[in-house]
Amino acid sequence: MKVYDRAVVADVLKKGIKQLSLELSEAQVEQLLDYLALLNKWNSVYNLTSVRDPLEMVKLHLLDSLAAVAAFAGAANVLDVGAGGGLPGMVLAISRPDMKVAMIDTVHKKTAFLNQVKAELVLGNVTVYTKKVQELEVKTKFDVITSRAFADLSDFVNWSGHLLAEGGQFIALKGTAPAEERERLPAPWKVQKLEPLQVPGLDAERHLVFIKEETV
């Protein structure tokens, strides 16, 4: 575990937030820093991410997820599939306290971490599930289902399509978003939009893939 220099990390995070034109309060920035500190601390034991340097975590995890926040502007109830260490789910929950965010993962140590973050940061809008998404049943379906580098797009929609509310959409956070993956989507799912993302301090391809049911 690398030393977590909060002041240095905060400076990089705040500059990135400004570049992304996001309006986050000081309290929200502090919550993001607290979350990152927990991720860094737990990572040494639980191996939540292969990234070990907190400064790299800011760019590769926090700012990468924050770059997608604007895409969830109209969302009220979101599910993050294969949430892992909480990316993008935990970042969305902190950035949008008005939005309900559920996170699901099959790995107990990862969901234990997510529950710890929820408790320590007092995030009342977060729900955590430990199970396969194919087996999840909910009373209220989600208007957006998201994932970050989780699976092939076909698997993503096949496994979690039963949880999407009518008229809802999938938003997948991808690196390159390969064409063959998009073309393999089963009917009635169709890529509506492919949106490139600019992540501050990160020189790598990032895309949002918006998938909806094609209406006749």
- 208 annotated binding-site participant: no
Q: Which two tokens stand for residue 80?
A: 């993050």
Angle at 184 between CA 180 and CA 187, to 5 degrees: 150
CA torsion 120→125→126→129, rounded to 10°?
Answer: 140
Whether 44 and 85 have beta carbons less than 8 Å apart is answered as no
- 133 annotated binding-site participant: yes
Whether 54 and 9 have beta carbons less than 8 Å apart is answered as yes
Cβ neighbours of residue 130 closer than 8 Å, sequence gap 6 or more: 104, 105, 106, 107, 108, 111
- 82 annotated binding-site participant: yes
In angstroms, the CA 114 to CA 161 distance is 23
Cβ neighbours of residue 10 closer than 8 Å, sequence gap 6 or more: 29, 33
DSSP single-letter state for residue 175: S
The binding site comprises 82, 87, 133-134, 148
The binding site for S-adenosyl-L-methionine comprises 82, 87, 133-134, 148
